[in-house]
Structure 1
Amino acid sequence: MTSTSPVSADQAGGTPGTIGGVDGGPHSSRAAALVARAVGGKDSAPVTMTSPFTGLPTATLPQATDADARAVFHDARAAQRAWAARPVAERQRILIRLHDLVLKRQREVLDLVQVEAGKSRMDAFDEVCSTALVAAYYGKHSAKFLAPKRSAGVIPLLTKAGVVRHPKGVVGVISPWNYPLALTAMDVLPALMAGNTVVQKPDNQTALSALWLHELAEEAGLPAGVWQILLGRGSRIGDALVEESDYLCFTGSTPTGKNLAAQVASRLTSYSLELGGKNPMVVLPDADVAKAAAGAVTACFSSAGQLCVSVERIYVHESIRAEFTEAFVRRTAALRLGCTLDYGSDMGSLTSADQLENVRAHVEDARSNGATVLTGGRARPDIGPLFYEPTVLTDVPESARLFAEETFGPVVSIYGYHDVNDAVERANDTEYGLNASVWSRDGRAGWEVAARLKAGTVNVNEGYAATFGSVGVPMGGMKESGVGRRNGAEGLLKYTEAQAIAIQRGLKLRPFRGMPASVWTRSMTASMKLLRRLPGR
């Protein structure tokens, strides 16, 4: 692997002691202005976050107490009624303005996401694109999704039936550190468009990116108090988030998601969870090997593999396995690792010491169990404190941890197969079901295999970006990868309560006075047989 130089003040376009405009100490005026947008902060132990690229401080964050959190929800509930009363078209215009602001001021947040999350510039740009796409999509389509819908009534012409949508109320959003901008947009913006207010708790590590989007949303016209950001430790404010939310949206680990679901169940409120994955890629025997190998590099190593939908297992038909492996390893070994705030690097850093240790432990455990490392397999402290080389393994036995456990880092294992049915069975042999990838020259064959994979999203001749960027289709997990969907109509309607309303005219739905029940029931039976033959019934 090649490496680029560490980030410097000159590259960042800042002054000495700064990283991308964010002070190397905890008192940067820009960071402080963003932090000031957060609510609460009476916890006596603030936290100072550091950049994965350098280990230098980026910001000191106040931490909310349980009382702070409950007060925020009280204020959000008070603001919700007026927000919901605004015409949907007016709410949509705010998102269209937000879309334009995100694209216009992207350089600010590209630096910020890189500094906070350790991403390459291109991976940070993916977040900008996703955020703009989500804002534009719901800025165009929310009114259509929320409009009252007519439905067939029980008696044609005499029964008028329909469905209206009401906001849940206050939506709690718990966001992860790995995609701080994109996942904030995907979860918060449709909740707002549905007429809810939002209380978001971003991860402390990447809170500034979420606060930046919050700043732009208010510049675009979002009223103050409609979306509030709460900084705090889950151990201190987690109960308040669960107990005060009318709907809870969480992205994170499967064990934490299960705990939250159990808590929410006792309140009989709704939730959605996007959780872990051990995502497979199936390369069919007719695949274009060069294109599949290039696509696998992006699918496996974007954001240093710290992406819920990134590929960690590759199944390649034995007829092309050697050719694919050679091409994939060669492309992987050529990736440029670095921490410059420009497009000079292909892969950035891991985000935390815990992630680095987990990746290191998975690879060493696989080695000790007989796996072969084809490229990578070592940390790179010479580039930055949390860098780890993109790693490709083969001969990984079932006894190795990374065979079935989610690694969530730049590590992938290759397996061969002879029969497509066997490949599908092995790809599905996991407790997870978030994302998958299929490669074939024949689009129809690729689609047919994709439909057999037990994953919420499947991409043909792509790793994850085709479904991730197609905001009009739902995205989420099967099995232990989650509950519910984001994006598309479902990503907005989940934040609403459906209410059925029917108006009955003329004929009553019970026997007329004096009519024997036997006559009424025979008449209704004949009518139902006739109604079944009518279109739309």
Structure 2
Amino acid sequence: MSATITTKTALGSVNPTRLDSLVARVETVGERPALVVSNAMTGDDLGQVPRCTPDDVAAAASRARAVQPAWAAMSFEHRAAIMLRFHDLVLKRQNEVLDLIQLENGKARRHAFEEIMDVSLNARYYAHTAADYLQPKRRQGVQLALTKVTELRHPKGLVGVISPWNYPLTLGISDALPAIMAGNAVLTKPDQQTPFAALWAVELLEEAGLPAGLVQVVTGSGAELGSAIIEQSDFLMFTGSTAVGRTVAGQAGERLIDCSMELGGKNALLVLDDADVDNAVAGAVRACFSNTGQLCISIERIYLPATLWEEFTAKFAQAARALTLSPALDYSGDIGSLISAKQFGTVTDHVQDAKDKGATVLAGGRPRPDLGPHFYEPTILTDVTEEMTVFAHETFGPVVSLYRVATEEEAIARANDSEYGLNFSVWTSDPERGRSVAARLQAGTVNVNDAYAATWGSIDAPMGGMKASGIGSRHGEHGITKYTDAQTIAVERVLPVGAPDGVSPALYARVVTAAFRLLRRVPGVK
């Protein structure tokens, strides 16, 4: 039984003139060859962007730096008003960018809408919290009342953002929003396969009142522009593979600039023996197949107790087969296309390798050229063993492997047995048991009775990876303070730190020792 098919495809609100107006935002210092952007649904040409060079990156950085000081001098209230107008414009104009996201990336519209929610949430959150996070703060001085200490937060200056193709709007602009609220300029490079959604977002920011030129967009490949962006930036935000992340971190380290990175994952879902199977199946469908599996925090491994194996696998396979694959630019489809021939090849190779080495396909396992060149059915595998590529390597597609475990302890141990630790999921009828299990899992985010949206959408809390899945985090306080430099100013009043004139060092040491012993017992003294 195959997945349901729909074949309606349209260009929606996207037209060549509109794309040309977005591309005009990319400034180059001379004529540049064009990079063709493909329609992921059909493989046809969608549009073109300039193939920027390191010289273009340097010129863009210079333009952004020229605007940044005046922006940093603006009040938080002024910045917040712009961010909230942007929030409103994103919601009002969502249909035009939803079409863009679907055509660039191939995803189903329901998953494209998650990007609208994410960008709106980030804009609203940092509009309301930036001032509290970044305002001057009093700190305890070494001599208590005699030392007045203030912590200040200064913008880094120019923040570089290198984003991937899987969430072109979210990752193209959401990480830039707190950087902007902190008073920085931004130099951003969206993936060359998905530049238009990021360009659309920058256009809306300026329509909302952001100074023209504060956010600069360059287009081209990471291999050609990545080093130049790192060279020009004062901080780097990177989302991509762990392999590239190691290179990026090394280059940032050479320049002694800080960076934050969300990298790869081989995420696990644990179904505990008291879980409601129907709820767990519905959650697993969302966890594994949202965004056609092209989601850094999607699930590629599921661990099941023997007591639930038969019921869960039967219902999960049935649910996967019932999903609607569709290229339509509306909400009718459950699953869209993979983005490219390259990603399609990776998914195909991983599944074929597993089948050749003895894996069993419970559902899917087939391409769907009748829908488009990059469509692939949601696929469930069992009997996966260590020699198969899919066992430990990230597939980044609609493919999940199921494993039987004897105990909760085994499930935790096997979930943790990975170089990655990005996002895990736990399903149980006992929330406290779920919280206890979650705390033992080596992942930056763990969702109990949810796939991934609960932690991702709770942007007051940090989101990042453990182990080889990243450095630093986005969201919450760290999501904006990382874009600033901390400065401590201490003003001494009456007496300096050290022995006053006329007091011997020995006497000073005895007095300070007695004072420290006393302060040790005073509540509130740190």
State whether TM-score is above 0.5: yes
Matched, 1:414 2:388: no
Match of 1:220 in 2: 208
- Say if 1:22 and 1:58, in contact at 8 Å, map to a contact too: no
Matched, 1:447 2:448: no
- Matches of 1:449 and 1:365, distance apart in 2: 33
Equivalent of 1:461 in 438, 443, 449? 449
- Matches of 1:159 and 1:195, distance apart in 2: 29
Equivalent of 2:389 in 371, 389, 401? 401
1:97-496 alignment, distance < 5 Å? 97-496=85-484
- Matches of 1:254 and 1:532, distance apart in 2: 46
Equivalent of 2:14 in 12, 22, 32? 22
Matched, 1:86 2:74: yes
Please report how far the alpha carbon of residue 43 of structure 1 lies from its aligned counterpart in structure 2 after TM superposition: 5.9
- Matches of 1:41 and 1:109, distance apart in 2: 28
Which shifted more, 508-517 or 381-390?
Answer: 508-517
**Which amino acid is 2:489 matched to?**
I
TM-score (ref. length: structure 1) = 0.96
Match of 1:15 in 2: none
Match of 1:16 in 2: none
The DSSP-based 3-state class of the residue aligned with 2:193 is: helix
Please report how far the alpha carbon of residue 529 of structure 1 lies from its aligned counterpart in structure 2 after TM superposition: 1.6
Match of 1:6 in 2: 7
Please report how far the alpha carbon of residue 186 of structure 1 lies from its aligned counterpart in structure 2 after TM superposition: 2.5
**Which amino acid is 1:86 matched to?**
M
- Matches of 1:441 and 1:67, distance apart in 2: 58
Matched, 1:519 2:507: yes
**Which amino acid is 1:249 matched to?**
M
- Matches of 1:327 and 1:536, distance apart in 2: 59
The DSSP-based 3-state class of the residue aligned with 1:157 is: helix
What value does the CA root-mean-square deviation take over the aligned residues?
1.1
Please report how far the alpha carbon of residue 21 of structure 1 lies from its aligned counterpart in structure 2 after TM superposition: 2.8
Describe the superposition over 1:62-84 as per-residue Cα deviations: whole angstroms up to 9, x where unpaired. 11111111111112122111110
- Matches of 1:41 and 1:409, distance apart in 2: 38
- Say if 1:41 and 1:63, in contact at 8 Å, map to a contact too: no
Describe the superposition over 1:110-163 as per-residue Cα deviations: whole angstroms up to 9, x where unpaired. 111111100101001111111111111011111111111111111221111121
The DSSP-based 3-state class of the residue aligned with 1:204 is: coil
- Matches of 1:296 and 1:152, distance apart in 2: 49
Identity rate of aligned residues, in percent? 52
**Which amino acid is 2:41 matched to?**
F
- Say if 2:6 and 2:326, in contact at 8 Å, map to a contact too: yes
Runs of 5+ unmatched residues, structure 2: none
- Say if 1:391 and 1:410, in contact at 8 Å, map to a contact too: yes
- Matches of 1:463 and 1:519, distance apart in 2: 64
- Say if 1:43 and 1:64, in contact at 8 Å, map to a contact too: no
Runs of 5+ unmatched residues, structure 1: 13-18
- Say if 1:39 and 1:231, in contact at 8 Å, map to a contact too: no
- Say if 2:190 and 2:198, in contact at 8 Å, map to a contact too: yes
- Say if 2:304 and 2:405, in contact at 8 Å, map to a contact too: yes
Which shifted more, 35-44 or 516-525?
Answer: 35-44
Please report how far the alpha carbon of residue 49 of structure 1 lies from its aligned counterpart in structure 2 after TM superposition: 1.1
- Matches of 1:508 and 1:108, distance apart in 2: 63
**Which amino acid is 2:342 matched to?**
D
Please report how far the alpha carbon of residue 174 of structure 1 lies from its aligned counterpart in structure 2 after TM superposition: 0.3
- Matches of 2:289 and 2:29, distance apart in 1: 36
- Matches of 2:324 and 2:363, distance apart in 1: 14
TM-score (ref. length: structure 2) = 0.98
- Say if 1:122 and 1:343, in contact at 8 Å, map to a contact too: yes
The DSSP-based 3-state class of the residue aligned with 2:195 is: helix
1:191–1:431 CA distance, 2 compared to 1 (3 A): same
- Matches of 2:61 and 2:387, distance apart in 1: 47
